[in-house]
Structure 1
Amino acid sequence: MPLIYAKDGAVATFTIDNGKVNVFTPEMHRELHEALQDFVADPMIRVGIMTGAEGRSFCAGDDIKTPLPDLTPHEALEAHFFPHIHEGRTGLTRPGWEQDVMRFKRLKPIIGAVDGYCLGQGLIYLLLLTDIRLATPEAEFGFPEIAYGMAGAGGMTRLAALIPQAVAMEMLLLGERIPADRALSAHLINRVVERTGLMAEARAMAERIAGHPPVAVRLEMEVTERALDMTRDQAVDYAATLFRFQRVAYQGYGAGTGFFGTKHEAAE
């Protein structure tokens, strides 16, 4: 499988493994969606890591050389609104499972570990599917699609809401790659880590998160995401409600009880 999904204790790892620069095929989008479904459903898994296979780029985007079924203009319009409508007859195509992945809702954290190229669909997935991002000094980030008449990554990722607008527009309109140090200064990533220590650092972060009470992690994920689209008063009210709910539940179940336990107890 070009998308390898593995579990080790409370941590799941999504490894992109398809050629030297790890391009995505339509089948890999479906594999990723299936892995994400298992990730959120498995109560024993508390955090994920997304990375490229060792010695390869994180992901250089979609494989534009993958042959796709020919669709008539009418079929292409149908596929826009119903991405899987023609799969039974034509096989996987675009738009397809990448639409489901980009819309996937999760309340479990994923750490991105990037080496080499992180471009196009690979960068879209990094921004939409990861919450903390590490990169090696050799990593490069970019959206080259505009040069091929395929714009829209800024809207799909809300890039200008994640990093300074001027930097976002530079990336989107020039279509040029930026190095890891520039990505760090723009807060596109959290840390630059040497290649030899990338996965160890990601794993250490994952284990630390997995040691926290799962309910606290889940509520922090939810309130942070939803508050982005709220006014200040709405965000405070919502966060206070979830905080009080957690404290009442914690007191009701008692310290050390399952998903409401303390950090030490939850890790045991």
Structure 2
Amino acid sequence: MTDAVITHIEDAVAWITLNRPDALNAINNDTRRMLPDAIDAADANPDVRVMVIRGAGPRAFCAGADIKEFATVDAPAAHRQSRVQRHWIAAFDRAVKPLIASIHGYCLGGGLEIALACDIRIAATDASFGFPETSLGIIPAAGGTQRITRVLGMGVALDLILTGERIDAQHAWSMGLVSRVVEPAALNELTRGIAQKIASRPPLATQFAKEAVHTGAEISLAAGMRQETDLFTHLINTQDRQEAARAFSEKRSPKFTGR
């Protein structure tokens, strides 16, 4: 049996691939088990500085939950408690290293929730996005209702969730859902370039920048400013900050160690 999620590490980048192309990389129980493990392992690996989430095959990043598994469900109370205790999507929130979603083809339902849980979203022009859940009598329940509201605002979020309308990559870019759009043939190259650029930066600086942005989105501006100052102050005495200054003075490429 082929693993539902596979990881390949190259040049400090962990390429984490949703690997069910025949099922449009739909999320099944194996995905829910293996994806958090892959993210946690890459986040703990000192040789990894950036993670990329992508989908196998030519047709989809991820088309959402595997509807075949909807035939049997837990009792409501047990189902809710299991999701509260350890929800598979929480691995994205635990990750301190940057996460990039490299999106092509279908990015629907749970697939869109995976993309929203990443820090940066890059899309191919053939990508399509949407939340079809309400047509199935459910709602996005892997953070979708919460994250898309924070990214796009309440009005746009409700429009997409309640109508289930699909949007293309250009529309997604115009509303700020993705930060870059590229032709499908260039998606891997662009993703690799962005990932390697981030990986070339001092690791603590990128991790603290991510922390400052995410934490600041949940607290007041004044509290966020204090957090930003605290993180900045901590970075002043790091070896990498000092190495960056020396390399600039000596007109050479810096060598960062993450300390």
TM-score by length of 1: 0.84
Question: 1:158, CA displacement in angstroms?
Answer: 2.6
1:222 to 211, 214, 217: 211
1:4 partner SS: strand
Quote the residue 2:166 is aligned against.
177
Per-residue CA deviation, residues 38-73 of structure 1 (Å, 9 max, x unaligned), is 0111011000111111413000001111376564x3
* 1:124-146 residue CA offsets vs partner (Å, 9 max, x unmatched): 01101x11111111110000001
My pick for the range that moved more, 176-185 or 149-158, is: 149-158
Q: Share of identical aligned residues, percent?
A: 30
1:161–1:67 distance in 2 versus 1, CA, 3 Å = closer
Q: RMSD across aligned C-alpha pairs, in angstroms? A: 2.5
Partners of 2:191 and 2:146 in 1: CA distance = 23
Q: Which residue of 1 aligns with 2:77?
A: 77
Larger deviation, residues 230-239 vs 178-187: 230-239
Q: 1:8 to 1:121 in 2, by over 3 A?
A: same
C-alpha distance in 1 between matches for 2:144 and 2:4: 28
Q: Deviations over 1:134-182 (max 9, x none)?
A: 1111110000001111014576443122014332221111011111111
- Structure 2 distance, partners of 1:183, 1:149, is 25
Distance 2:203 2:194 in 1: 15
Unaligned runs of 5+ residues in structure 1 are 84-94
The number of residue pairs the alignment matches comes to 246
**What is the identity, as a one-letter code, of the residue corresponding to 1:16?**
L
SS in 2 for 1:51: strand
Give 1:121's match in structure 2, choosing from 103, 106, 110.
Answer: 110
Q: Tell me, which stretches of 5 or more residues in structure 2 are unaligned?
A: 246-251
1:265 aligned to 2:258? no
Choose from 52, 55, 62 the match for 1:49. 52
CA distance in 2: counterparts of 1:155 and 1:55, whole angstroms: 25
- The CA distance in 2 between the partners of 1:70 and 1:140, in whole Å, is 29
Alignment of 1:171-250 (within 5 A): 171-250=160-239
